Each structure stands twice: as structure tokens, then as C-alpha cells.
Amino acid sequence: MAVVLVCAAYWLSLQQSRAADWVSHTQEALTTIARTRAALADIQNGLRGFTISGREEDLEPYRNGFAVITADSARLRALVANNSMQEQRLADMEGELVPRIPTAAQLINARREGGFEAARSIIDTGLPHEEMARLRAVLKDLEVKEEQLLRGRLADHERRLRWSWAGMTALVLALFATLAMLCLQVRRRRTAQQALLVEMSERTRIDEELQRLNRSLEGLVQQRTAELRSANSGLLDAELRLRDLSSQLIAAQEQERRRIARELHDDTGQSLTVIRMHLSDLLRGGDGATARVPDCIKVVDAAIAHIRAMALNLRPTMLDDLGLTDALQWALEQQAKAAGWHVELEAGDILVELPGDIQTACFRIAQEALNNAARHAGASEVKLVLRMVDSDLELAISDNGAGFDLERYRSPEERKKHFGLMSMAERAGLVGGSLDIDTAPGSGTRIRARFPIRVASSLAE
């Protein structure tokens, strides 16, 4: 009986040792697969990080990941050498990895040579994501089959163990010491199983954490892409506005030059021609030439008055001589005479010295607002307010005219047709100020400009 017991114990020991070897073999295969999956995640994270930042050091996880996959593939081939189905799945994984390498290299070269947009065009094709998904699917299949193999080997071991214990029940009853030894071996096996289950649970947790980090990184990429699109849209809109403003400024300059040239030719030029004719008659000593001198003086006075009026329209000297308030009063009265308005000027005490560029911007905005009211509003009452609000200079021009739809005038097409509104806003912005327009069809118009008196810019003129 002792010999049988020893033989049975030896046989059980061999069976358990074999089962442990198979379990260890399968566990190593599962660990290698998990390490390969983590390397794939490192490759994907390295590519994403480099695509976003363009920094070469962000490619380090990508390079390390490929090195790990190469080593793990060789180890997996040795581990599944006795399993033809697993060998075929491993070959499938290596086959999926081959096209992934040039795709990754193409993405890296596109980011280096063409920047983020070039790399994003490759990502948008979906090819990198599809290749990575296929690799993950093959790895998942490998892992599932290994886990099934592990469970089968454990079940087979359990089945063999039950049959062995059924045959040795009588011997175990006779030899309690042998039973104690066998119970100790069973306890160790269960401890190994529990450790294996704990490790598998930890591996599952790590895999879930990697997936969570993956999703977080994808969200950051999408957020950054949306921010870049928004910034590009804002830059494009600013560029279009700048182009429109430059075009309108050039057109306004040419129109003003034509107007000045026409007035000089039609009025001042004709006056000078008449004076020249009278002076020529006087030089020749013709009859009645002396009597024409008073007419020459009148023509000269008219020409002088006309040139002074032109100079005032270009830049009122009173803005430099008397200040902003008197210049605004003169502009308001001039427009009131021409349009037949009832006007009101409300000017508060301004105890600080206003920078010259802010005075110019304020006067030009008021001049443009009054011109618009005269041409388009059909108003009968106009009010102009100039005052200090905290540390800002505030200018407000309001009328009881027809008003207009402000949103329609903000479109790019309307901005090209109505340069005045855009020029007022640009003038205010150039000296650090702001411009608000409150209007609606049939409700009149109120234009309010605010200028921080601490901010100055020489570009307003």
C-alpha cells in the first residue's frame, strides 16, 4: 500500500507539475499579449502626441512601442508553437502590423513636412484608426483563445484530480499523513489560482484605464481641432474686414481727390481765369480796364472764401485753435443750416487734457454721423452729447429719423456699400475706444463712442 501510495503521490505530483507548467505557459502568453496591447497604445499615443505638438520627443513612445511589439512577437511565436490556430492568429497580427508601419511613417512625414493640417488629412481618411482596430481585434482574439485554453487546462486538471481522488479515497483514509500532504498541495494550488485571478482582474483594470486615457486623449484632440478651426475662422473674417476697409479707404481717397480737383477746376480755376483776363486788360490799358479792378477783388474774395471752406471741410482749424467742443458745435450748426434741423449740444465740463488723436477721432466720428443723418435719416431733431464718464470720454449723437436694420448692414456685402459705419468703428478702435449703434427701422438712431483718455494712437487721422 505504501508503494501504491508513493506511486500515486508521484503521479499526482507529475500531473500538478504539468498543469502548473501549462498554466504558467498560458499566463506568460497572456502577459505578452497584454504587453503587446500596451505597446500598441503607446504607438497610437506617440503618433497622436506628435501630430498635435510636432515635437520629436513625443515620438519616443511610438519607437519604444514598435521595439516591444517586435520582441513580443518573437516570444509569442515560441509560446504558441504547439498551437496551429494561435500560430495563424499571430501571423494575422504580424500581417496587420506590416501595412501599419508605412502608414505611421507617412503620417509622421506629413506632420514634419506639411504641418498639422497635412497630418489631419491622413487621419481623416480613417485608415490609421482602421489598421489599429484590426490589430486590436487580432490581439483580442489571441487573448480570448489563450484564456479559453487556460480555462480548459484548469478544467482538465480538475477533472483528472477528481478521478484520482476517487480512486485513492481508501488509501487516503488509511494514511492520514499522506492526505495531509496532498491537502497542502491542493491549498497551494488554490492559492496559485486565486493569485492568477487577482492578476487577471488587475490586467482588466489596467486595460480599462488605458481605454479611458485613450478616450480622454481623443477628446483633447477634438477640442484642439475645434479651437484651431474657430481661430482660423476669426483670422479669415478679420482679413476680409481689413481688405474691405483698405479698398474702401482707397476709394474714399480717390473720391475726395476728384471732388477737390473738380472744385478747384470749376470754381477756383474759373475765378483765377477771370482775374487773369481782367489783369491782362489792365496791362494793355484798354478802355474801362481800371473799372474792373473792384470786380477782380470780389472774385479774389470769393476764391479765398471757397478755399477756406474747403480747408475747413478737410480739417477745421478751430479743432486745433479752440478745442473739441467748439469744433463739434461748428460742425453741428453747419449741418443744421443745410438740413433744417432743430439741434441741441450738451457738453459737460472736461477737466483733463484730451490727446490730439482722440480729439480728431471724436470729431471725425461726429462728422460722419451727422453726414449720415443728413443723407439718410430724414430727421428733424439731432442731439449731440459730449461728456466724461469715469475716466472715459463719451460722444453720443442721436436723431429722430427713420433708423435702419443694423444686422443687415453688418454683412460683408453691405459693409462694402456703406463705408461710413465701418470707418467710424475703425476710428474708435484705432485709439483704443469702442463704438455702439442703437437703431431700428422707424425708431431713430443713437451712436455712442467711448474713448479711454489714457490710450492714444496717432492712426486716427
Q: By the 8 A CB rule, do 446 and 379 touch?
A: no
Which band of pLDDT confidence, cut at 50, 70 and 90, is reported for residue 382?
Answer: very high
Which band of pLDDT confidence, cut at 50, 70 and 90, is reported for residue 444?
Answer: confident
Pairwise CA distance, residues 396 & 344, whole Å = 12
Distance of CA 321 to CAs 166, 334, 345, 387, Å? Answer: 121, 18, 20, 20
**What's the CATH number where 152 sits?**
1.20.120.1730
Buried b (16+ CB within 10 A) or exposed e, 321-349: eeebbebbbbbbebbeeebebebeeeeee
Q: Identify the domain boundary among 131, 159, 174.
A: 174
92 compared with 190, residue with greater pLDDT? 190
Distance of CA 23 to CAs 145, 217, 371, 406, Å? Answer: 14, 36, 93, 78
How many domains does the chain divide into? Answer: 2
Lowest mean pLDDT among 49-58, 97-106, 120-129: 97-106
pLDDT at 455: 42
Burial class (CB in 10 A: 0-12, 13-18, 19+), 428: buried
pLDDT (tens digit per residue) in 236-294: 776 766 666 666 656 656 666 666 666 665 667 677 777 777 677 767 766 666 666 77
Q: Identify the domain boundary among 148, 174, 200.
A: 174
**Residue 412, C-beta contacts closer than 8 angstroms, at least 6 positions apart:** 240, 244
Q: Can you list the alpha helix ranges (DSSP code H) found in 264-292?
A: 270-284
* Cell 486623449, located at residue: 217
pLDDT at 424: 84
Pairwise CA distance, residues 221 & 51, whole Å = 9
Percentage, residues of the chain above pLDDT 90: 5
- 459 located within any domain: no
pLDDT at 19: 64
pLDDT at 180 over 90: no
**Residue 11, C-beta contacts closer than 8 angstroms, at least 6 positions apart:** 164
Averaged pLDDT, 103-115: 77
- 231 located within any domain: no
- 420 located within any domain: yes
Q: Can you list the alpha helix ranges (DSSP code H) found in 315-391?
A: 317-321, 324-339, 356-372
Q: By the 8 A CB rule, do 451 and 324 touch?
A: no
Q: Identify the domain boundary among 135, 152, 174.
A: 174
Averaged pLDDT, 168-172: 66
Which band of pLDDT confidence, cut at 50, 70 and 90, is reported for residue 409?
Answer: low
pLDDT (tens digit per residue) in 329-343: 888 888 888 888 898
- 419 located within any domain: yes
- 29 located within any domain: yes
Averaged pLDDT, 115-126: 77
**What's the CATH number where 355 sits?**
3.30.565.10
Report yes or no on whether pTM surpasses 0.85.
Answer: no
pLDDT at 219 over 80: yes
Pairwise CA distance, residues 360 & 240, whole Å = 26
Average pLDDT value for the chain: 76
- 214 located within any domain: no
pLDDT at 449: 93
355 compared with 419, residue with greater pLDDT? 355
pLDDT at 291: 66
pLDDT (tens digit per residue) in 13-29: 676 666 666 667 677 77
Pairwise CA distance, residues 62 & 111, whole Å = 15
Q: By the 8 A CB rule, do 158 and 186 touch?
A: no
Averaged pLDDT, 190-203: 90
At position 374, the amino acid (one-letter code) is A
Domain range holding 448?
317-452
- 162 located within any domain: yes
364 compared with 121, residue with greater pLDDT? 364
pLDDT at 347: 84
Averaged pLDDT, 306-318: 65
Pairwise CA distance, residues 298 & 300, whole Å = 5
Buried b (16+ CB within 10 A) or exposed e, 104-123: beebbebbeeeebeebbebb
Pairwise CA distance, residues 213 & 137, whole Å = 19
pLDDT at 38: 81
pLDDT (tens digit per residue) in 69-91: 778 777 777 777 777 776 666 67
- 132 located within any domain: yes
- Integer-rounded Cα radius of gyration of the chain: 46
Which band of pLDDT confidence, cut at 50, 70 and 90, is reported for residue 234?
Answer: confident
Pairwise CA distance, residues 157 & 106, whole Å = 50
pLDDT at 300 over 80: no
Averaged pLDDT, 191-205: 89
pLDDT at 397: 92
